[in-house]
Amino acid sequence: MIKMFKGFLAIIATFIVCMVLISVGAGLGASGLGEMGGLKKLNKDSILYMNLDGVIYDVETFLTDLRKYSKKDNIKAVLIRINSPGGVVSPSQEIYQEIIKVRDEFKKPVVVFGDALVASGGYYAAIGASQIVVNSGTMMGSIGVIMQFNNLEKLYSWAKTDPFVIKSGKYKDSGASFRKMRDDEKELFQSMIDEVYLQFRNTVIKERNLSQDIMNKYADGRIFTGETAVKVGFADKLGGYNMALKTAAQLAGLDIDDPSIFTPPPKKEELLQTLINSKVNIGPLSNAIEMIKPHLFGKPLFLMPGTF
């Protein structure tokens, strides 16, 4: 009993220490630029720098900052660093649409810097940019859509549990974990997948001006390198952050050697959300955190390959 109590105290201590570290890290990195620096006040012609990192699900803060600052007169271009495996379809599309608005309505160049991973929904967001700059080893692509379900029928049987549902229509509980999916339900979900995939595919063809042959070869969910992406037209040029920054400055008519950068001020996150979003390895709590992510429970979301 004493050992269990000591173990519990150790977990609590780990939690407190990690939260302090996370809070410090959030203060440095939540702005999207962190140690790279940037203006604290928007008082001269600048490039708006933003960071799209991780699974695309709740993008309210990102979109709020993009909408707020991109239309300001002193913002002459937008540079977005993307490092994402994808996420839910609708938020990915919304980011794409807002980038298009900045590019076409506000007439301001948007440059995407593809970091380690620009896949699926992350790539959907990126194709709205004026130019896409990637490292040669950047992982890109995964153009496709997937829906994931679990059939736990045998587990319920093993637990001697007999769940039932009262519903208003035959499709209201489609995707339920306590029974097998019917053929007509599979057809329904497949038709939805095909529709969203066609939206994705057509958007890529439109924005990247790619041929059907290229799309037939690469739009099958596969991942390819940044070098291949540039060769076949999914991205524009090879280079790192500095190349992307210079590209944005050049398109905006700013000094390419020392452009002014503005980063939105960090937002104060709730304690639990900060913990959930953190990439810090917190030992005994890491598995528990994965279990309590509320957005993973019982939702037949359109997910991009490689998300979870």
d(C-alpha 125, C-alpha 66), whole Å: 13
- 8-state DSSP, 128: T
| Alpha helices in the chain, H assignment, sequence order | 2-29, 60-70, 89-100, 121-126, 153-158, 183-208, 212-218, 226-232, 241-252, 271-277, 286-292
243 CB-side CA count, 13 A: 15
- Tell me which of 120, 130, 142, 278 is the catalytic residue: 120
The residue type found at 237 is K
Residue 296 is classified by DSSP as G
Biggest alpha carbon–alpha carbon distance for the chain:
70
Distances in whole angstroms, Cα of residue 80 to Cα of each of 36, 40, 177, 187, 293 = 14, 18, 39, 38, 26
To the query of whether residue 160 is one of the catalytic residues in this protein, the response is no
Amino acid at 123: Y
| C-alpha span between 168 and 86 (Å, rounded) | 33
Q: Is 167 annotated in the active site?
A: no
CA distances from 292 to 39, 41, 155, 286 (A): 37, 38, 20, 10
Give the active site residue among 72, 172, 267, 293: 172
Which residue in this structure is represented by tokens 């390419």?
Answer: 256
Q: Which residues are catalytic?
A: 120, 172
